[in-house]
Copies of this chain bind each other. A is one copy, B any other.
Amino acid sequence: MGGDFGPQVTIPASLACLRKNPQLKLIMVGDQAVLNDMLSDALLEFKDRISIQHASQVVEMHEPPQKALKNKKDSSMRVAINLVKEGQADACVSAGNTGALMATARFVLKMIPGIERPAIISTLPSIFGHTHMLDLGGNVDSSAEQLYQFAVMGEEVVKAVENIERPRVGLLNIGEEDTKGNEQVKAAAKLLEKSSLNYIGYVEGNSINAGSVKVDLIVTDGFVGNVALKSIEGAAKMIAMKLKEAFSRNIFTKLAGLAAYPVLKLFKDSIDPRLYNGASFIGLRGLVIKSHGGADALAFETAIQLAEVEVEKDVIRKISEKLESALAQKDTE
């Protein structure tokens, strides 16, 4: 029910995913009457693979998380996360209110021991393919220990999603020299150096999209990661606007735009943010994927597919095991 468009987007995306993956089963959580109506044909087409779970409330997009937690105990978000807790669903995918989704997930599912708050990880395009980055806003003022935990958790996500054995892990800093950075980052570098991770050292902001070497996972504090992510979104938006402006100037530029249309379309597709939609909340005892609120059906499909991969690869169990051994190792030191 969440996001800017609700079932208008989530239902077509769900049906597309059911068509693509015959293993997939979906429980649609929300207003039963609305869903029944919109799903009537699909309920026949995907008889055993789609079901409806009624939820009488919806968390509004700008509702304060604590208020939603207290007053919306039968929201679609809460009911969906309950299904994960009870083992009736392997993952919850939502385009709803981020803060409320995070607060609810944390309250219902609880954290893996040793983790305080969920970290948010997502994929971004890079000149080498993709880069994964965390934390994107779950935690601010992260300690060196937290940054290290992000790296341990993030590695499992990258291994699953990219299907690589030893992801290259970089720590976001404001220079590549040892003397650069704040105390937390310098201390985290020491933890990463002696870890079993494939740690490649400090990387700078430009490495997210276009560094000099490939990096599979970039680790940073949630404040910094969120600012970096949104700065990139702003840059891409400005550049797209300026490009459009240049081609809209007069009849000649418009003709040039017509000639270049197929190429511009190809270019636009190559950086389509919808193909990068979906952020995982990690550190929880269950899988929750957040879709962008403004996602269209194609974008929401990407978020569901991310959940499919992470379920299939058993990412949550792997994260728990890795963290347990990482924390145990620390205790014996």
Contact = CB atoms under 8 A, between A and B. Distances in A.
Nearest to A231: B205
B182 A141 contact: yes
A231 B259 contact: no
A252 B238 CA distance: 28
Interface stretch (A13-21, A32-40, A218-226): A218-226
A209 interface: yes
Contact of A267 (B125, B246, B259): B246
Contact of A263 (B64, B231, B256, B270): B256
B228 A228 contact: yes
A297 B223 CA distance: 37
A187 interface: no
Contacts of A143: none
Interface in A286-302: none
Nearest to A271: B242
A237 B205 CA distance: 12
A241 B141 contact: no
A233 interface: yes
Contact of A137 (B174, B220, B267): B174
A244 to B, nearest CB: 9
A324 interface: no
A210 B223 contact: no
B231 A209 contact: yes
Contacts of A242: 267, 270-271
Interface residues of A, number: 61
A206 B234 CA distance: 4
Interface in A229-270: 229-239, 241-243, 245-247, 249, 253, 255-257, 259-260, 262-264, 266-267, 270
A64 B175 CA distance: 13
Contact of A209 (B172, B183, B234): B234
A255 B141 CA distance: 51
Contact of A234 (B140, B182, B207): B207
A248 B263 CA distance: 9
A218 to B, nearest CB: 10
B235 A263 contact: no
Given A238-B271, A256-B260, 16 more contacts: A174-B226, A174-B227, A174-B230, A204-B227, A204-B230, A206-B231, A206-B237, A208-B231, A231-B231, A232-B232, A232-B234, A235-B239, A236-B239, A253-B266, A256-B262, A257-B263
Interface of A: 64, 125-127, 137, 140-141, 172, 174-175, 179, 181-183, 185, 204-211, 220, 222-224, 226-239, 241-243, 245-247, 249, 253, 255-257, 259-260, 262-264, 266-267, 270-271
29 contacts: A127-B237, A127-B241, A137-B174, A174-B222, A174-B226, A174-B227, A205-B233, A206-B234, A207-B234, A208-B234, A209-B238, A210-B238, A224-B227, A227-B227, A232-B232, A236-B239, A243-B243, A243-B267, A246-B264, A246-B266, A247-B260, A253-B266, A255-B259, A256-B260, A256-B262, A256-B263, A257-B260, A257-B263, A259-B260
